[in-house]
Structure 1
Amino acid sequence: MTQRSELTLDDGVKLSVEIDGPAGADLTVVLLHGWCQDKRTWQHQRAALRRLGSHRPRVIAYDTRGHGRSGATRLDSATLGRLGDDLAAVLARYAPSGPLVLAGHSLGGMTIMEYAHRNPDQFADRVAGLLFASTTAEGHTHTRYGLPEPLAALMRAGETIGAGVLARSGAWCPQRALLPALRPAARWLLLGDGHPGDALDITMRCFARTTLRSIGGFRASIGAQQRLDTLAALGDVPAAVLVGQRDRLTPPACAESIAAALPHATLTVLPRAGHMLPLERPDEVSAALAAIVKQATRGLGAQRRRAARARRAAAHEQAA
């Protein structure tokens, strides 16, 4: 049964949080959604994790500030650094101890990187697995929107200007009235071919709940982030990196650089898929996440066996 909660952050923003799975699970999975989306993005993966039986983890999903059912953010707090701190606050409240698997889609993946950058010791001590879907560690370095570079540069400039206007337009959601008109552009930008029928519907419903301030306000921080060095310092954490072949926002080059920075990462490029992989390719993303969870769980078992052997050896030495 899903437990619903609300976390008040130190600046007063309230996060909408949902928790599934046994409280005494060996492992906690935290799911972080993308820009202009919310925790509904992960609904297929949450269902898949419930079916893992003895490997079933505890699962935490929450709406980022300014998204979904969470409270609006101030403009000066619409940054990736603040999102990394928010993740740390969620962990402190809902998973203060024990190993973690962190899974991030798009902005969620960038949030994980920022958390790792700002909390390297805690990350090293606790994170047992990672999943990055449709994300980047290099800002807008590789973003071409599927267009030739001259047109991409114009579109990027227009997007930057438009984001600045939206960022100062307040914490309201007037785009709800425009969703039918926006669907074709969203379909082209965010989705590939052969996606499930509800993928665009869910994407648009999530977009409808995102404030204008968040739509525009996070753009500058997203475009500027550079965290390949952070990833390279993470060591031997098992990781799955997934990207759609036709992703116009974070194309395969983004995933390739992430996978190259992580020595124990597997890279999967999904043919004909776009940016919304958890909704477009739910089975493949769920399988990759389940595999990371199982790998992390096996690692925990090996750690416990080594610890037990060490205790027995110490007891034997004391007895002798």
Structure 2
Amino acid sequence: MTAAPAAARATRGEFVTSDGTRLHVELSGPADSAVTLVLVHGWTQDLRTWNRVVGELPSGVRVLRYDLRGHGRSAPARPGTATIDQLADDLAELVAERVPEGRLVLAGHSMGGMTIMALADRHPALVAQRVDGAAFVATSCGNMDRITLGLPGVAGAGAARAERRLAQLLLAYRKDALPLRPGAARAGARWLVFGRRPRGQDVTSVVDQLLCAHPASIGGFQNAISLHDRRVALAALRTTRAVVLAGEADRLCPVSHARAIAEELPGSRLRLYPGAGHMLPQERAHEVAVQLGGLVRVSTS
């Protein structure tokens, strides 16, 4: 049974972190649920990443999702706080405030998956005591500085250098809007983060989220992603039920990165989706929802 659209049943609000950063938060589903599914989006995106997935979840699932600092309707990251460690601390604070009791299932897309890994590293007691399941969706536990965007040899190395240069430019950019034209952004997003035959509305949504992100914040987070190394930290999740999902045409977090996560989580399920790119929550929303729903069902049984 498909749930009602998320926008029609979500309670929207704000959460202020301990360093004073305002985050936009949405909580939906029954307040007395024994388990809450926490959805963490990726770099340059916002909670709308999960719209299709939430719409495919079984009715009655309680869902917490939010815009990371520097993204969507949340405030920009303060100087020095555009780090994955900080995102993990934000998540720990948000859960303690908005979902202080009950079991948790965590799902992270791209940088959101990295945030969950950092949470396990920095807040192991929270994970051990409350987390029953984890889903790593199109993400990585390290070596992101070696990504070649699916291009061979010299072309791949050049693309990686260009990406790092873009991050440096964004860090220095002080306006609220990204210096990108929507048409160029659409073409770039279609090639970079989608697989075969993406829906036009999904490309538009990804670009709209990108253009809502704070430039200097996402520049800082790109640097943090390149330094991300949490393979060892995954040990804290080895007794947690986990799924690892990846698109076989993902240019940003290739299948080899999904396999590396699965190797560190011997009891996890690895699911690969032919033809899909990096945006699995849009490209394979039903399949992602099935995997998340399965984790939630096991947690409540």
Indicate the TM-score class for this superposition, using the shorter chain for normalisation.
over 0.9
Identify which of 124, 137, 142 aligns with 2:141.
137
Counterpart residue type for residue 239 of structure 2? D
Alignment-derived partner of residue 89 in structure 1: 93
Identify which of 181, 187, 192 aligns with 1:189.
192
Identify which of 235, 241, 246 aligns with 1:243.
246
1:224 and 1:17 map into 2 onto residues whose CA distance is: 28
Alignment-derived partner of residue 211 in structure 2: 208
C-alpha RMSD of the superposition: 1.4
C-alpha contact 2:36 2:104 (8 A) present in aligned 1: yes
Alignment-derived partner of residue 267 in structure 1: 270
2:104 and 2:235 map into 1 onto residues whose CA distance is: 19
1:158 and 1:185 map into 2 onto residues whose CA distance is: 13
2:166 and 2:98 map into 1 onto residues whose CA distance is: 37
2:175 and 2:243 map into 1 onto residues whose CA distance is: 35
1:47 and 1:139 map into 2 onto residues whose CA distance is: 33
Q: Tell me, what secondary structure is at the counterpart of 1:19?
A: strand
Counterpart residue type for residue 239 of structure 1? A
Quote how far apart the aligned CAs of 1:232 are: 2.4
C-alpha contact 1:239 1:264 (8 A) present in aligned 2: yes
Q: Tell me, what secondary structure is at the counterpart of 1:132?
A: strand
C-alpha contact 2:121 2:236 (8 A) present in aligned 1: no
Identify which of 227, 230, 237 aligns with 2:233.
230
Q: Gaps spanning 5+ residues in structure 2: where?
A: 1-8
Q: Tell me, what secondary structure is at the counterpart of 2:237?
A: coil
C-alpha contact 1:102 1:112 (8 A) present in aligned 2: yes
Identify which of 170, 176, 179 aligns with 2:174.
170
1:11 and 1:233 map into 2 onto residues whose CA distance is: 27
Identify which of 219, 222, 226 aligns with 1:219.
222
- Which of the two has greater helix per residue? 1
1:162 and 1:69 map into 2 onto residues whose CA distance is: 23
Identify which of 118, 122, 125 aligns with 2:126.
122
Deviates more, 1:223-232 or 1:14-23: 223-232
Quote how far apart the aligned CAs of 1:181 are: 2.0
Correspondence 1:34 to 2:37:
no
Counterpart residue type for residue 23 of structure 1? A
Alignment-derived partner of residue 103 in structure 2: 99
Q: How high is the TM-score relative to the length of structure 2?
A: 0.94
Provide, for residues 22-42 of structure 1, a one-character-per-residue CA deviation record: whole Å limited to 9, x for no partner.
Answer: 110010110000100000010
1:16 and 1:23 map into 2 onto residues whose CA distance is: 19
Counterpart residue type for residue 259 of structure 2? E
1:237 and 1:89 map into 2 onto residues whose CA distance is: 21
Identify which of 279, 283, 287 aligns with 1:284.
287
C-alpha contact 2:70 2:76 (8 A) present in aligned 1: yes
C-alpha contact 1:142 1:253 (8 A) present in aligned 2: no
Q: Tell me, what secondary structure is at the counterpart of 1:159?
A: helix
Quote how far apart the aligned CAs of 1:144 are: 1.9
Provide, for residues 237-261 of structure 1, a one-character-per-residue CA deviation record: whole Å limited to 9, x for no partner.
Answer: 1111111111000000010010111
Alignment-derived partner of residue 158 in structure 1: 162
Quote how far apart the aligned CAs of 1:186 are: 1.2
Counterpart residue type for residue 195 of structure 1? P
C-alpha contact 1:236 1:263 (8 A) present in aligned 2: no
Quote how far apart the aligned CAs of 1:157 are: 1.7
1:162 and 1:279 map into 2 onto residues whose CA distance is: 25
Identity of aligned pairs, percent? 41
Counterpart residue type for residue 19 of structure 1? L
Counterpart residue type for residue 147 of structure 2? T
C-alpha contact 1:31 1:104 (8 A) present in aligned 2: yes
- The alignment of Structure 1 onto Structure 2 pairs a total of residues equal to 293
Quote how far apart the aligned CAs of 1:291 are: 1.2
Larger Rg: 1
Q: Gaps spanning 5+ residues in structure 1: where?
A: 299-320
Correspondence 1:7 to 2:10:
no
Provide, for residues 262-319 of structure 1, a one-character-per-residue CA deviation record: whole Å limited to 9, x for no partner.
Answer: 1221111100110000011111111111111112222xxxxxxxxxxxxxxxxxxxxx
1:195 and 1:157 map into 2 onto residues whose CA distance is: 27
2:103 and 2:236 map into 1 onto residues whose CA distance is: 19
Alignment-derived partner of residue 6 in structure 2: none
C-alpha contact 1:35 1:106 (8 A) present in aligned 2: yes
Q: How high is the TM-score relative to the length of structure 1?
A: 0.88
Deviates more, 1:216-225 or 1:155-164: 155-164
Q: Tell me, what secondary structure is at the counterpart of 1:220?
A: helix
Q: Tell me, what secondary structure is at the counterpart of 1:75?
A: coil
Alignment-derived partner of residue 4 in structure 2: none
